[in-house]
């Protein structure tokens, strides 16, 4: 498929993209996280698209997964309204405060901290300690 974006054209393997998006969205809706961090490398590294094309389009693809996943979780009775009403405002507030802080701190150090935090959490889940 040929993708035209801002006056440029890119040739991509749509089958690979769709297969990847399908797998990522199964796992992400099954475990209840956003698939962004996997979807972006899929499109940049896997399909060779530039970042400026990927940011918006991957968000759109992920949103489809989030909407469908949420509806299905609701259908299966996995949704707790009160719990949602506690966390939803916090998530919105966080999305508002986050970018303001992001300008002031080094993304490199955030990433390093994230690596450490993720490994600690993974160790906990896998029963390493």
Partner 1 sequence: MKKTCLGLLIVLAAMWLSAQVANVSAQAPPPRGDTDQAAAQTQLPALSLDKTSLQNGGVITVTGQAEPGKPVYLELWSEQQVRASRFDSDPDKQTGKRPYILYMTNNLPAVYRIIVPAGFADVLDAVKKEGGKWSYSKALSDLGADEAYSVPGRSAIDRYQATFLGGIVGSRGDKLAAMDDQENRQRSMQLIKVRFRSPGKLFEPVLAVAPDGTFTAKVKLGEGLAPGAYHIRAVSGKNAASAPASFENTISFPIIYLSNAGTSLNLFYPFLLCLGISIFGVLMGAGGGFLLNPILLSIWPLPHTVVAGTVMPTVLFSQASGIYNYSKIKFINWKLGLSLGAAALFGGFIGPKMTELITLDQYKFVFGWILVILALLMFWQTTPGYLAKNKKEQAVLKECKLRAQQAAKAKVEPACDPKAKE
Using the CB atoms, write b or e for 75-95: b if 16+ within 10 Å.
Answer: eeeeeeeeeeeeeeeeeeeee
Write out the binding residues for partner 1, residues 7-66 only, by CB under 8 A. Answer: 7-8, 12, 14, 17-19, 21-39, 41, 49-53, 55-66
Helix axes 51-75, 14-31, angle to 10 degrees: 40
CB 63 within 8 A of CB 25: no
**Shortest reach from residue 54's CB to partner 1, in Å:** 9
Q: Quick check: 126 binds partner 1 (CB under 8 A)? A: yes
How many residues bind partner 1 (CB under 8 A)? The answer is 100
Cα–Cα distances in angstroms (integers) from residue 42 to residues 5, 12, 33, 108, in the given order: 18, 12, 17, 21
Write out the binding residues for partner 1, residues 75-114 only, by CB under 8 A. Answer: 75-84, 86-95, 97-99, 101-102, 105, 107-108, 110-114
**Shortest reach from residue 89's CB to partner 1, in Å:** 7
CB 2 within 8 A of CB 14: no
**Shortest reach from residue 55's CB to partner 1, in Å:** 7
**Shortest reach from residue 52's CB to partner 1, in Å:** 4
């Amino acid at each position: 498929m040929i993708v035209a974006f801002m006056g440029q054209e890119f040739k991509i393997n749509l089958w690979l993209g769709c297969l990847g998006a399908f797998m990522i969205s199964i796992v992400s809706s099954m475990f209840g996280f956003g698939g962004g961090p996997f979807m972006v490398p899929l499109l940049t590294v896997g399909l060779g698209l530039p970042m400026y094309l990927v940011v918006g389009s991957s968000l759109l693809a992920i949103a489809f997964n989030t909407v469908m996943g949420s509806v299905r979780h609701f259908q299966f009775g996995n949704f707790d309204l009160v719990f949602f009403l506690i966390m939803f405002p916090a998530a919105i507030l966080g999305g508002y405060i986050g970018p303001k802080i992001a300008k002031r701190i080094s993304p490199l150090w955030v990433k390093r901290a994230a690596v450490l935090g993720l490994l600690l959490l993974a160790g906990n889940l896998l029963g390493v300690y």
